[in-house]
Structure 1
Amino acid sequence: MDIRVFKTFIAVAEYKHFSRAAETLYITQAAVSARIKQLEEFYGMQLFIREKNNLRLTPAGDALLPHAHLMVSQMEQSKISLSIASEQKSAVHIAATPNVWDAFFSSRILDAIALFENLTLGTEISVREAIQRKLDDRSLDIGLLTDPIKDDDFVNDLIGHFDLSLVGSRPAFDAGVEDYILIDWGITFQKEHALHHKVIPSFKTSTAMIALEVILSKGGFAYLPSELVTDLVRAQDLYRIETPLQIKRPIFMVYRKNNSNGQLIDQFKSLLSKIQ
């Protein structure tokens, strides 16, 4: 049904006069009559009672009026939404796991914004499983992870590394400490950690910044990004602890093959390789 038919119905209901409605809509009175007839035939019932010098809605017309207003309003809103969408910039969406965000990407976000200044850049922090699911359904362009996604539909580019340091609020550390914080630095780290450490964590988190805040407030130990704690160690707010654990962690840039934003992905990969 043409939305102009409902606009005509609303105008006739408002002015209670075919000719006035025609003047308002800049159409002929015959066109108004034809549209009302079309609407009545569609619903199979009379919408107006036509008496000499008196035009009023039937009960069916009264019932239809709010729906007509709603349909016209929704149609106008859809035009506005489409107009806004047509003016929006293209978008690229990037997600990182909490550990990669804290250790690597947060300090480089301004470079990414500058690279994509003519686009809408969307970023989020999410767990590995959610990132893989969003990459798979194409609601996400790029994932930054410490472990690759082993699937033939994905590309895993090793774009760099970051170092971890075991640090604490005091210099002495052994298996008996009761305030150790275990941070999720990925699958490989978990295996190595279980091999080299027998310490029982008092707290677990996926976010380095939460662990750091707890240590600075209450004391404790954790593996934290070396870049994040360098100044704190220098100021002796934290102490670096010697450890046998492999502390260099890889960063994989993961994306689907044949991504429609392939050129943007290449630009982002080039940017990250320059700012290691």
Structure 2
Amino acid sequence: MDLTLAQTFLEIVQTRSFLRAAEQLHVTPTSVSARVRTLEELLGRALFVRNKSGATLTPAGEQFLPHATSLVQVWERARHQVAVPAGRRAALSIGCEVSLWDPLLLQWMLWMRSAAPHLAIRTEVGFPGHLLDKTADGVLDIAIVYAPQHRPGLRVELLIEEKLVMVTTAKRARPPRAADYVYVDWGPEFAAQHGLAFPELSNAAVKAGLGPLGREYLLAAGGTGYFRLDVVRAHLESGRLRRVPDMPEFLYPAYAVYAADCDRKLVDPALAGLRQVASPRAAQGKSASQQRPGRASKKR
């Protein structure tokens, strides 16, 4: 069977729409429909029911789903392992959520350079849903994400229980004001807790969708905002930033996600490296380790 047929089938399952699947695959809706017809002819069963709300699987489609997933995973893993650079025994692909890569990913890459020089390293930064999809499909060996959704066939391991703390450039700490507040989008759980704690900051003057961008803007322009403790620690020590006292803190954990049937010879060294570079930050954040992710704690 043409692998493209299985990939198209899975894209329709993911998007629940022939039209959206065509957009994701960069082909015409006619091509998607033709691929599905070909696949249904090969299997002798209808796989989808199309209606105004989109496309849903038939009982035959439900039965074919795990087989299509396995087929694509096997192909992606084979393609991944064959493309190994000269001088390396295997290739490892890791993806990290946009808000978590700095500085974790760089420190891990440097650790792997010394501890596992036989492995070729490929990295990417992206959004959690996309990274988890790639891990499930075998394109990525490991994904590092915040608050991952548990999926069949994937294992989740806690790496860091880091805190989001309020910092400011002001010489005298004061309650935050919307006019000079920098709101960083740390995800829906943070947004909910932040909204309860600071409803008056809903109209912040500046909103940043990327933590490093918000941090650099804060350092350049001044103001107040929530940031991961580890990435502002050096600025706190130098005096460029100061903690705002008596403000709530929020947990921001990071998890490593990988396939349950992964190649342990490949993944275990990478996990060891992640644990190693994450351990100092984990130790620093233990005071908040009993809280649930995203739950605020009042600093005493």
| TM-score, length basis structure 1 | 0.62
Distance 2:235 2:197 in 1: 25
Superposed CA deviations along residues 237-271 of structure 1, whole A, max 9, x for unmatched, are 11211354333321110112212x33322222223
CA contact (8 A) 1:159 1:269 kept: no
Distance 1:114 1:244 in 2: 41
CA contact (8 A) 2:176 2:224 kept: no
Q: How does 1:50-65 map to 2 (within 5 A)?
A: none
Distance 1:269 1:115 in 2: 12
CA contact (8 A) 2:156 2:258 kept: yes
CA contact (8 A) 2:178 2:205 kept: no
2:167 corresponds in structure 1 to: 167
- Aligned residue identity for 1:168: T
C-alpha spacing 1:84/1:183, structure 2 compared with 1 (3 Å):
closer
2:42 corresponds in structure 1 to: none
Superposed CA deviations along residues 166-216 of structure 1, whole A, max 9, x for unmatched, are 111114443533132222323432222222122133333342221121111
What's the CA shift for 1:93? 0.5
Distance 1:112 1:121 in 2: 8
CA contact (8 A) 2:155 2:260 kept: yes
What's the CA shift for 1:86? 8.2
Q: How does 1:163-202 map to 2 (within 5 A)?
A: 163-170=163-170, 171-174=172-175, 176-198=177-199, 199=201, 200-202=203-205
1:106 corresponds in structure 2 to: 106
What's the CA shift for 1:98? 1.8
SS in 1 for 2:108: helix
CA contact (8 A) 1:104 1:162 kept: no
Selected match of 2:212 from 200, 209, 214: 209
Distance 2:125 2:183 in 1: 19
1:247 corresponds in structure 2 to: 250
Query: Does 2:148 correspond to 1:140?
Result: no
2:241 corresponds in structure 1 to: 238
Distance 2:205 2:102 in 1: 21
- Aligned residue identity for 1:272: L
Relative to structure 2, which stretch is displaced further, 164-173 or 141-150? 164-173
2:128 corresponds in structure 1 to: 128
What's the CA shift for 1:230? 2.3
What's the CA shift for 1:96? 0.7
What's the CA shift for 1:221? 1.7
- Aligned residue identity for 1:265: V
C-alpha spacing 1:86/1:269, structure 2 compared with 1 (3 Å):
closer
C-alpha spacing 1:84/1:190, structure 2 compared with 1 (3 Å):
closer
Distance 1:152 1:272 in 2: 23
C-alpha spacing 1:184/1:256, structure 2 compared with 1 (3 Å):
farther
Superposed CA deviations along residues 57-112 of structure 1, whole A, max 9, x for unmatched, are xxxxxxxxxxxxxxxxxxxxxxxxxx986847321011111221125333333113
C-alpha spacing 1:223/1:95, structure 2 compared with 1 (3 Å):
same
CA contact (8 A) 1:131 1:140 kept: yes
C-alpha spacing 1:197/1:119, structure 2 compared with 1 (3 Å):
same
C-alpha spacing 1:84/1:218, structure 2 compared with 1 (3 Å):
closer
Selected match of 1:264 from 246, 263, 266: 266
Query: Does 2:223 correspond to 1:220?
Result: yes
C-alpha spacing 1:224/1:123, structure 2 compared with 1 (3 Å):
same
SS in 1 for 2:100: helix
SS in 1 for 2:214: helix
Q: Which runs of 5+ in 1 are unaligned?
A: 1-82
2:68 corresponds in structure 1 to: none
What's the CA shift for 1:160? 2.3
C-alpha spacing 1:243/1:133, structure 2 compared with 1 (3 Å):
farther
Aligned length: 193
1:157 corresponds in structure 2 to: 157
| TM-score, length basis structure 2 | 0.57
- Aligned residue identity for 2:270: F
